[in-house]
Structure 1
Amino acid sequence: MNNGTDMVRIAVFSDVHGNLPALEAVLNDIEKRGIQQKFCLGDLVDFAPWGNEVIEKIRDLNIPCLMGNHDERIAFNIPVIPLSKHSEEETEARFVAIDHSKKNITETNKKFLSELPFHLKLNYKVGGRHWNIQLVHSSLWSNDTYLYETESDELFSDMLKESQSDIIVMGHTHLSFKKYLKTTGWAVNCGSVGRSKEDNRLASYLILTMNEKEIFPEIVQIAYPIEETALAIEESAIPDYYAAFLRNENISVL
């Protein structure tokens, strides 16, 4: 991408997980700020009941989107493997929720998910400076790797060097962070739109502002009608476990 203006702003979001009210709140906030270019890091489906509607909104708005691990599982009917970090209760709920998506996501929407790219590299020219932005779902090497702020600087520096980028933006963990590495650049997690694991449960996304001298990441967290989503989960075949999680009712989801 090439742009000769003095300043460029883009929005990046991830991990909607079928939560249409949260997605609409984020898109409205982006629009109010006058940001035209939007990118999604994937995981459109699972855990809230509007998987088809979320996919169709992303598609209809022509928002470039990556293939998250949940998108891949639904698109290709990949078996669910229990994770050791999950409790027995969460494991059972996870199986039911993913099976619900496999049965209810339309074939047209599964095809859309199957054709999403794994990575996306952006290049913006702002004034006389080129900025390279690497978008991934979870890492350069996998869409199912959990990288947290506590990871070593060396790990993030290696990704920045390998991708030859000034900033790498990821999602997947549902926990936002910004980490500046002096010699290599920024590692940023934009958090989750629809299934935040942060205590406030707000919908989270990233604004990147670029000028000729710097690239600046800002994590934005906004309220949305959480109770609307929680009630819709309870009225669906999706386990109530996830409604309780959204309400932050002393449930830990890893």
Structure 2
Amino acid sequence: MSRIAIFSDVHGNLPALKTILADLDVRKPDQVYCLGDLVDFAPWPNEVIELLRSSRIPCIMGNHDERIAFNHPVIPLKKHSEDETRARIQAVDHTRDTITPGNKDFLSKLPQKIRLTFTQQERELALLLVHGSTRSNEEYIYENHNEADLYDMMEQENADILVMGHTHQSYIRNIKTGEASVKLALNCGSVGRSKEGESMATYLLLDIGTTTLTVEIIKLPYPVEETAEAIMTSGIPDFYANFLLLQR
């Protein structure tokens, strides 16, 4: 049996990350992975990066990590209001102003994907870890995404299980051809900025046996007020503190 923990989208929220890591200390998975977006929206980008580095947790490059690492501009999203767009730019600028050169360099070297393989029922089971999708770390793959497109993406990558973040919304979805479930698409949600109606630190736990596979979405309470207060006393707009507090 192999136990794999996967989380994503910490977004500088150190108290939420510490909550996840404390839970992992109890559950003791065999492997732990992070799907990126370590920075922006909360005031601990350096502390988050340094904690993950010291914990030796492999990470991939989220779109926010890439933007900070390579000084990409903020492109407004159609789904955001003018107020959120302004807040987003200010939050990203705060990270640009505070991140250390060493941590910025660390972000620039993160991979886009991680592939894992396991032997199950005398066949190879392939897991592919990405931030957004197999095509881009900025593509949103929600639970209602076209099933045929998801199947094609996974076929092209020779993946039996696709694990994603980016949407901040966790789910477990069977991908079928006919009546048979042949693949599994998973989203591990967000550690630091959940968009599931409650401010919980969320991650995914997979137990892979020789004949069995179980997936569990873990949601944990964390000191939201601590994060909100730190945002309000930093250069990050209160928009992000209010978002967390309104979801409690």
TM-score band by shorter chain is over 0.9
Residues 1:114 and 2:108 aligned together: yes
1:59 corresponds to 2:62 = no
- Deviation sequence 1:40-85 (CA, Å, 0-9, x none): 0000000000000000111111111000000000001101111121
Secondary structure of residue in 2 paired with 1:156:
helix
Deviation of residue 127 (structure 1)?
Answer: 7.1
> TM-score scaled by structure 2?
0.95
Partner of 1:4: none
Q: Distance in 2 between matches of 1:197 and 1:223?
A: 14
Alpha-carbon displacement from aligned partner over 1:13-65 (angstroms, at most 9, x marks no partner):
00000000000100111111121310000000000000000001111111110
Partner of 2:149: 155
For 1:117, give the aligned amino acid: P
The DSSP-based 3-state class of the residue aligned with 1:125 is strand
- Supply the distance in 1 between the matched residues of 2:123 and 2:224 (Cα, whole angstroms): 41
Consecutive unaligned residues in structure 2, runs of 5 or more: none
In the aligned structure 2, how far is the partner of 1:137 from the partner of 1:195? 15
Counterpart for residue 136 of structure 1: 130
Pick aligned residue for 2:227 from 220, 223, 229: 229
Q: In the alignment, is the contact (CA less than 8 A) between 1:127 and 1:211 conserved in 2?
A: no
Counterparts of 1:181 and 1:78, CA distance in 2: 35
Q: Which amino acid aligns with 1:26?
A: I
1:192 aligned residue: 190
Q: Structure 1, residues 122-163: CA drift from partner, whole Å, max 9, x if none?
A: 012357443210000010010000110011111211122111
SS at match of 1:182: strand
What amino acid is the match of 2:198?
N
Q: Distance in 2 between matches of 1:140 and 1:249?
A: 30
CA distance in 1, matches of 2:136, 2:224: 30
Mean alpha-carbon deviation: is it higher for 52-61 or for 127-136? 127-136
Q: Please, what TM-score do these two structures have when normalized by structure 1?
A: 0.93
Q: Which of 186, 205, 208 is the matching residue for 1:207?
A: 205
Partner of 2:162: 168
Q: Does 233-242 or 128-137 show the bigger shift?
A: 128-137
- Map Cα deviations across residues 173-210 of structure 1 (whole Å, 9 max, x no partner): 10011101234310000000001011122111000111
Does the 8 Å CA contact 2:2/2:30 hold for their aligned counterparts?
A: no
Q: The residue matched to 1:247 in structure 2 has which SS?
A: helix
Q: Which moved more, 1:211-220 or 1:94-103?
A: 211-220
Does the CA contact (< 8 Å) of 1:129 and 1:212 recur in 2? Answer: no
Identity of aligned residues (%): 54
Aligned equivalents of 2:194, 2:22: Cα separation in 1: 18
8 Å contact kept, 1:41–1:68: yes
Contact 1:8 1:126 in 2 (8 A): no
How many residue pairs were aligned? Answer: 244
Q: Please, which moves more after superposition, 12-21 or 81-90? A: 81-90
Q: Deviations over 1:207-229 (max 9, x none)?
A: 01111123222111110001100
